Structure 1
Amino acid sequence: MEPGGRRRQQQQQRRLQELRREATQYYQDHRVPQRMEEALNALFPQRPADLYGELANYFSKFSKAPVICKLVGRKVLDGVGQPTLEVEIYCTVKNYEKRICSTVMSSHSQIPENALPETTEADEKERNDSVNTAVEWVNESLNMMLRGLKPTDQCKVDKILGEYFTKKVEEKKEVQKQEEEEEEEATLALTSCTPSATSLPGKKKSAKPGKKVAVAERPIPPAEPAESVLRGSVAIGGTSLAVAKAGAAVSRIPLYLHIALLKCDQDSLKEMTLPLPMVTLLNCEKISPAKLRLVKEVMLIPPVQLSLKQPSSQVADSKKGRAHNTGKKAPLKGKYEILTGTFKSPDEMVDVYVELINKFPFIIALIDPLRKEDRQQWSNICCALGSKCYLIAEDAATYISKLKTDQNINVPMCSGVVLKYINETKVSDLIEVTGLLDGQRHITILGSPDGESSDDSLVDLAVGLGARFIKLGGLSRGERVTKYNRLLAIEEELAKNRTLREANLEFIAFAEESQPEKQLSDVLPPPKQDSLPPQLSQPALQVHSLPAQHADLGHPN
């Protein structure tokens, strides 16, 4: 080679080295984009337009991890046409703003079906105002507070959300306290100006003794007051779930795996179990109005051996039913109305369920067989039927944030609880509560709220948290079918990766002596479990818990 050609070759090599150094510097401080293009073109002379080759992939590891740059909240409609919240997450990925994901929260209503029109109208107005407040929280306060955080740092995000929610609760208490003080001052001023008003209390006192006697005659505690919901609280749950979805997206893993990794370490995730779906077959309130009050729904649970894709005809011959509270009053005090005009005492209700399970052994679950306040009978029914079926509390477990008390689960003695992702619930709350449930040998069921959306994140949550069942309702609406299809997709993916483990149904033998005043972890005997009876290894039907409605106490919620 001529000296001139050798010099040119050396110069090209030196130039190439300089370009490589400058390219590295670009990915470290983003200052030389033009030189980066020159470096890639020099390294790929055959493909000068290919700026995303091996060198680009190599340098991408020097880029910053994605961080949240913007939250967008908007009001949308859920599956039943009620307003609810959608939260979008935008992240800065390789110096560019990119929309990562969105989530639509399900709405939940405490208004009974037979509520007065004015009550329903007030609830709709409150729901609309709550969603508007939630949209404001997301677009303003939460947008600023979470900016710059990694979407994979779920614990830190949920801590900030929890602190913000606590602050809002305290602000509401202060406002209420001030309003009460102003109202009290106004009442005192009115009383001082009206002398005849002083005689009224004396007249009322004579009527109080009779009322006290009536209260004392009630055999079980009155219904617990409905939990108050802070206006705008759905912004907390919606943002937490949206961040979890964004964390899974930037990690390039499915949401269910991201949730599972948040709950436990990598080594314990060699295999995963799918939750068994509870599919509603019959709604007894619509089929037989004002007649059958013991059973609200009959639900099908496929046997553990069958794939979710196998035809439903294979499980049609043996069905497991379940019954649920109807919320209707009976005219007699202290008794449950199981049929129109047929009443049973709390003690007799246990005998009713024992007879039902003995007659229909394919019933493997009862959901809310008794009022949540009737803890003594919950203890009795668990001792009588705990080794034969699951006794599940749903009404008692609506608010996840209320379940945690001193590392215990504050529900009646039961086999498990139905959890619903609503309002201020955070992903970290679900992980903590299900961890406590696992430690106390409860089973976890994730259920859809009343106003469910088409967002299928609930299925990923159920799989990632290791729920035993998922309660989605019947295959009758698009938002439900979407969730069932997601469950099928996850089953196919786990089977393909050979990480699908067959579910195991085992019932708990509870202690014979009931101690309702203590937490469940205090009264359960040493771990002793009875395997599923042989006949239940075949297709079976599940029964939703029977309607526990106390006659004179109104709706159990």
Structure 2
Amino acid sequence: MSCFVNCLSEEDQEFSDIKNAAAEFYRANRVPEELERALGELFFQNPEDVHGYLANYFTNLSSQPLISRLNGKERYDSRGQLCAEAEVFCMICNKEKRISSAAISSHLGQKDPFLDWQAKSEERVHHVKTAVHWIVEPLNKMLKEQNPCDQSEVDQKLSNFFMARHREEKEMKEKEEILSTSEQEVEVPCSPPEKKKEKKTDKKKKGGSEKPFCPAEPPEPVLPGCLAIGSVSLAVAKSGAQIKGMPLYKYIRVLKNPEDQGRFHIPVTLVTILSCGKTSPGKLKLLEEVILIPNAGQQVKQIITMTTQLQKEMMRIMSTSSKAGVTQAILSDSGVLPLSLDRPEQALDLITEACNNLALELGTSFNLAMNCAGPDLMDYTKEKYEIATGVYKSPDELVAMYQTLISKYTAVVALIDPLRREDREQWEKLSNVIGQSCVLLSDQTNKPQAPPLPGVTGVIVKHVNEITVSDLITITSEQQGSLLLGTTSNESCDDDSLSDIAVGLGLDYVKLGGLTSAERMTKYNRLVSIEEELAQRGILVSKQYHSPPLFTETEEEVI
């Protein structure tokens, strides 16, 4: 080896780095004479390749990159709210390098758009600061010297850490409740007259003919700091992909199924085209958003072009129309058109009119889904859904209303969260009355471990809070029915990882939001790039579905 090193120094001064690396490796590992002879022969036979080959050769012989430290930072999401970013640093060739970073969306439970906004903001700040503390201190110590390419072990450690903190929080709350109840028993003695009054009211309720109203299920507690778990997990996955020299979508496919490395398909890309509900002007609250469902097999570019044309035509109609319930066309912060409406038919009529003007056949060129946000509409004082300002419907009346809408607008092939989870009887009724013409989807962000609802054939999953990359792989491997990966209303400052995740997991559907927000367009552009790359390599598969609705298990793959 010494003669080989000397030869390098005599030939070219540019070989000095390689010479030093070779000499250091030789002293540390005592290279056998056979290897020394082989390297010498390689150099003399093919000296022009010495820069690339020897550099790569000795790099491959170096130690496996290990996590040297984690760093947490406070960043801002698409709505100007704080989020936590995790950075991963690794030791590579005796140098510390920043490999990747990630920031996922935080989800604090049930939506409460305008009530106690200041308290909600303070709660979010507390969550983010706790997450940053977790990343910088306990998680940093826990994952130091960990192999970033061992995703399952990293995620297991993250999950164990979260569960330990969750148990601590639960025990603390239980102690506080015991103390508070004991103090109340001492301070407030029981009053016999009050007991009699309570019994009378109970008798009235029991004697009524109406079915008892099912109260709201307790919300899933969100542990402060939990979004550190998901952010670190994604950052480690991105680091592993970079170290392995492969795109994130391929790396996730390897994690999910190492033997399945053949072909990929692009998920059917659902695009939000209208924003309604509580956050938009007007009386209508029932529709949170209307979503375009393109036909399977359409390229992402074609979907974006068609949706943009449709959206511009709707804006033109809105700006020139004098119809009641239509305001000037201004895009919301989520990149979609907010409408001032009184009835859901107005939104669907606007889309129909725009399609007619563009010679698009609604129900053939594309279909629609309605995100109804049912869980947020219940007025518990009246025990009815407030579908519009001052307009209330019982669960059975709402089922009848959905049936009428679906029969009139046949292009609507999916309803997302039409009812509360507690109204299981009405979910089953709705599934029976709409039949095969429309499917029911449920957003499981609030209740990730909840039992399936009657009639639901697909669920929406989101990468939020403590959900790790391994959790997403497990969910997509075990879930029965259709899966749709969706975004939250407050996009994180992370780049385009959601598109890679959807492709890598082999999902059939992905929902990326509107076409104007910069954060969402980054994800759409990434999906376009992945599609082009797969097509160039000849490993892109087009999935064809037998007939609408698309959310069915009957499908076949066509190359």
TM range (shorter): 0.7 to 0.9
Letter of the 1:72 counterpart = N
Pick one of 418, 422, 434 that aligns with 2:460: 418
Please give the alpha-carbon distance, in whole angstroms, between the structure 1 residues aligned to 2:60 and 2:520: 40
1:447 and 2:486 matched: yes
Q: Where does residue 517 of structure 1 map in the other structure?
A: none
Please give the alpha-carbon distance, in whole angstroms, between the structure 2 residues aligned to 1:106 and 1:351: 36
1:174 and 2:171 matched: yes
Is the Cα contact below 8 Å between 1:389 and 1:507 reproduced in 2? no
Please give the alpha-carbon distance, in whole angstroms, between the structure 1 residues aligned to 2:148 and 2:268: 30
Pick one of 352, 374, 388 that aligns with 2:423: 374
Deviation at 1:334, TM superposition (A): 4.9
CA deviations 1:297-317 (Å, max 9, x no partner) are 211122223211123149862
Is the Cα contact below 8 Å between 1:169 and 1:230 reproduced in 2? yes
TM-score by length of 2: 0.75
Letter of the 1:366 counterpart = L
Is the Cα contact below 8 Å between 2:483 and 2:509 reproduced in 1? yes
Q: Where does residue 478 of structure 1 map in the other structure?
A: 518
The 5 A counterparts of 1:19-418 are 26-27=24-25, 30=28, 52-110=51-109, 112-113=111-112, 115-116=114-115, 119-184=116-181, 186-187=183-184, 190-191=186-187, 197-198=188-189, 200-212=190-202, 217-266=210-259, 268-285=260-277, 289-310=281-302, 311-312=305-306, 313=309, 317=360, 318=362, 320-321=367-368, 322-325=370-373, 327-329=376-378, 333-339=382-388, 343-385=392-434, 387-394=436-443, 396-400=444-448, 402-403=449-450, 410-418=452-460
The change in CA–CA distance for 1:44 and 1:502 in structure 2 (over 3 A counts) is closer
Gap regions ≥5 residues in structure 1 = 1-10, 34-38, 192-196, 404-408, 510-527, 533-557
CA deviations 1:215-251 (Å, max 9, x no partner) are 6655452221211111111111111111111111111
The answer to which structure, 1 or 2, has the higher relative contact order (CA under 8 A, 6+ apart) is 1
Using the TM superposition, name which of 469-478 and 85-94 deviates more.
469-478
The change in CA–CA distance for 1:213 and 1:14 in structure 2 (over 3 A counts) is closer
CA deviations 1:32-89 (Å, max 9, x no partner) are 99xxxxx999987999999844223223322122111110011111111111100001
Is the Cα contact below 8 Å between 1:366 and 1:392 reproduced in 2? yes
Please give the alpha-carbon distance, in whole angstroms, between the structure 1 residues aligned to 2:407 and 2:184: 61
Deviation at 1:377, TM superposition (A): 2.1
Deviation at 1:206, TM superposition (A): 2.0
Please give the alpha-carbon distance, in whole angstroms, between the structure 2 residues aligned to 1:287 and 1:108: 17
Please give the alpha-carbon distance, in whole angstroms, between the structure 1 residues aligned to 2:204 and 2:147: 59
Is the Cα contact below 8 Å between 1:85 and 1:238 reproduced in 2? yes
SS of 2:67's equivalent?
strand
Is the Cα contact below 8 Å between 1:398 and 1:420 reproduced in 2? no
Deviation at 1:421, TM superposition (A): 1.2
CA deviations 1:1-46 (Å, max 9, x no partner) are xxxxxxxxxx9689779x999976733775899xxxxx99998799
Is the Cα contact below 8 Å between 2:484 and 2:507 reproduced in 1? yes
Using the TM superposition, name which of 317-326 and 443-452 deviates more.
317-326
The change in CA–CA distance for 1:530 and 1:338 in structure 2 (over 3 A counts) is farther
Is the Cα contact below 8 Å between 2:148 and 2:239 reproduced in 1? yes
Using the TM superposition, name which of 357-366 and 140-149 deviates more.
357-366
SS of 2:503's equivalent?
helix
The change in CA–CA distance for 1:410 and 1:170 in structure 2 (over 3 A counts) is same
Please give the alpha-carbon distance, in whole angstroms, between the structure 2 residues aligned to 1:175 and 1:329: 31
Please give the alpha-carbon distance, in whole angstroms, between the structure 2 residues aligned to 1:360 and 1:14: 78
Q: Where does residue 470 of structure 2 map in the other structure?
A: 428
Please give the alpha-carbon distance, in whole angstroms, between the structure 1 residues aligned to 2:233 and 2:103: 12
Please give the alpha-carbon distance, in whole angstroms, between the structure 1 residues aligned to 2:459 and 2:29: 56
Please give the alpha-carbon distance, in whole angstroms, between the structure 2 residues aligned to 1:288 and 1:169: 36
Please give the alpha-carbon distance, in whole angstroms, between the structure 1 residues aligned to 2:27 and 2:438: 63
Please give the alpha-carbon distance, in whole angstroms, between the structure 2 residues aligned to 1:180 and 1:29: 66
The change in CA–CA distance for 1:205 and 1:114 in structure 2 (over 3 A counts) is farther
Please give the alpha-carbon distance, in whole angstroms, between the structure 2 residues aligned to 1:212 and 1:60: 77
The change in CA–CA distance for 1:114 and 1:81 in structure 2 (over 3 A counts) is closer
Gap regions ≥5 residues in structure 2 = 11-17, 32-37, 311-354
Is the Cα contact below 8 Å between 1:26 and 1:32 reproduced in 2? no
Using the TM superposition, name which of 240-249 and 290-299 deviates more.
290-299
Letter of the 2:174 counterpart = K
- Equivalent residues, number: 480
Q: Where does residue 544 of structure 1 map in the other structure?
A: none
Is the Cα contact below 8 Å between 1:298 and 1:320 reproduced in 2? no
SS of 1:92's equivalent?
strand
The change in CA–CA distance for 1:126 and 1:287 in structure 2 (over 3 A counts) is closer
Is the Cα contact below 8 Å between 1:387 and 1:530 reproduced in 2? no
TM-score by length of 1: 0.76
Please give the alpha-carbon distance, in whole angstroms, between the structure 1 residues aligned to 2:275 and 2:427: 24
SS of 1:320's equivalent?
strand
SS of 2:172's equivalent?
helix
Q: Considering only aligned residues, what root-mean-square deviation do their CA atoms show, in Å?
A: 3.9
